[in-house]
Amino acid sequence: MSNQSIVELGQKYVMNTYGRLPMALVKGEGARVWDADGKEYLDFVGGLAVNSLGHCHPKVTAAIREQAGKLVHCSNLYWIEPQVKLAQLLVEHSCMDKVFFANSGAEANEGAIKLARKYAKLHYGEKKYEIITMHQSFHGRTLATLTATAQEKFHKGYAPLPEGFKYVPFNDFKALAEAVSDKTCAIMLEPIQGEGGVNEADPGYLDNVKELCQEKGLLLIFDEVQCGIGRTGKLFAYEHFGVEPDIMTLAKALGGGVAIGALLAKEEVAAAFQPGDHASTFGGNPLATAAGVAALDTILKDGVLAKAEEAGAYLKEKLLALKEQYGFIKEVRGKGLILGMELTIPGAGIVSKCLEAGLLINCTNNTVLRFLPPLIITKAEIDEAVGILTQALDQV
């Protein structure tokens, strides 16, 4: 089928919930993808930070094929071998003690909200339920995670929203401290905001937040759905800041391309969940967790983190050089291979020009070009991408 025929059928049968580009991707390998008409693209979107090892990584592909021939699903009424292995890998390489598996970042964050409330009610009473989140955050599309997302544009049309959330500006510790009340049970934030424009926590900010949580008896939740699993050059973004959360959520890159989410917690906090308190039929299924084991094992053993850190520094250097050339580039920010280039003009036109020239990037928050290439990206591929981006900027 051609791009045009797939687009026409999609418009006829698929709900209109995405502003889709007029092409269909049908094949991928490494950092490259091909559309239905055979055109090749260098992929710096990476499935929105999902394809951390690129497309069709041989180890992940082999693991999926092998598991699909053995057992795809059996439910969590029974122990699942690859699920246990993935949980072990996550715990042994993080500051966490227990794992609950879901199917997406939104589900992982939904679980974090439930766990925080359950813990608070067990330890402090019924009045503790409120969670403070940050402006420009993004936590998911369920009603609860949508409400936790402190961006009004995502709330429109869904009132009444669930109660129990309060918003403050990111990196404004004074506003955060003033927002805490006797109802507050947790503070939830992304160490590096992705959808909100690649905004990093300021030096010292997370230390102050952690201290506040300890002082007030609050849980600290880090949403690492986008910035976790090697995206920053370390396995988890919290490692850059030296601050350990009580709860952490993961998804996107965890399955090497297969849908999966995870809720991790410290032992005492995780104990608030008992049988019957939370569940997910497909969560932690054999296929997804086998893919996760292969992906995470590859990241840990094949030097991927060091390569991602080096590649991220190289890409950031190239983007900063562009900032010196073009007056409409306001700032370049981010860590590792989650980088944002903020413009003083809308970025959609630049995304379109890059697409025409064979480079996939995306624009978030209207004016921030976001770069999420696979962690295995090479310097040659970065040079190729920056060359295409430069041509697009010249046209602006």
User: Mean pLDDT of all residues in the chain?
Assistant: 97
Confidence of residue 69 (pLDDT cuts 50, 70, 90): very high
Q: What is the mean pLDDT of residues 295-313?
A: 97
Topology (CATH level 3) of domain 59-301? Aspartate Aminotransferase; domain 2 (3.40.640)
Strands 338-343, 368-371: parallel, antiparallel or unpaired by DSSP? antiparallel
Closest listed residue to residue 286, CA positions, set 278, 294, 297: 294
Segments making up each domain of the chain, as ranges:
3-57+303-395, 59-301
Percent of the chain residues past pLDDT 90, beyond the cut: 100
**What pLDDT digit, counting tens, does each position of 206-263 carry?**
999 999 999 999 999 999 999 999 999 999 999 999 999 999 999 999 999 999 999 9
**What pLDDT digit, counting tens, does each position of 349-392 carry?**
999 999 999 999 999 999 999 999 999 999 999 999 999 999 99
Q: What is the mean pLDDT of residues 98-109?
A: 98
Q: Please determine, for residue 191, whether its predicted confidence score (pLDDT) is greater than 90.
A: yes
Look at the pTM and tell me if it is higher than 0.85: yes
Q: Please determine, for residue 201, whether its predicted confidence score (pLDDT) is greater than 90.
A: yes
Confidence of residue 78 (pLDDT cuts 50, 70, 90): very high
Give the DSSP H or E segment for 85. Answer: helix 81-92
Report the alpha-carbon distance of residue 41 to residue 33 in Å, rounded. Answer: 5
Contacts of 163 (CB under 8 A, 6+ apart): none
pLDDT of 311: 98
> What is the number of residues in the chain?
396
pLDDT of 89: 98
Structural contact between residues 392 and 345, judged by C-beta atoms closer than 8 angstroms: no
pLDDT of 250: 98
HSE-up of 338 (CA within 13 Å, CB side)? Answer: 33
- The residue type of 243 is V
Report the alpha-carbon distance of residue 335 to residue 3 in Å, rounded. Answer: 35
Confidence of residue 396 (pLDDT cuts 50, 70, 90): confident
Catalytic residues: 138, 223, 252
**What pLDDT digit, counting tens, does each position of 117-135 carry?**
999 999 999 999 999 999 9
Structural contact between residues 333 and 194, judged by C-beta atoms closer than 8 angstroms: no
Range 3-57+303-395: architecture per CATH = Alpha-Beta Complex (3.90)
Strands 98-102, 32-35: parallel, antiparallel or unpaired by DSSP? unpaired
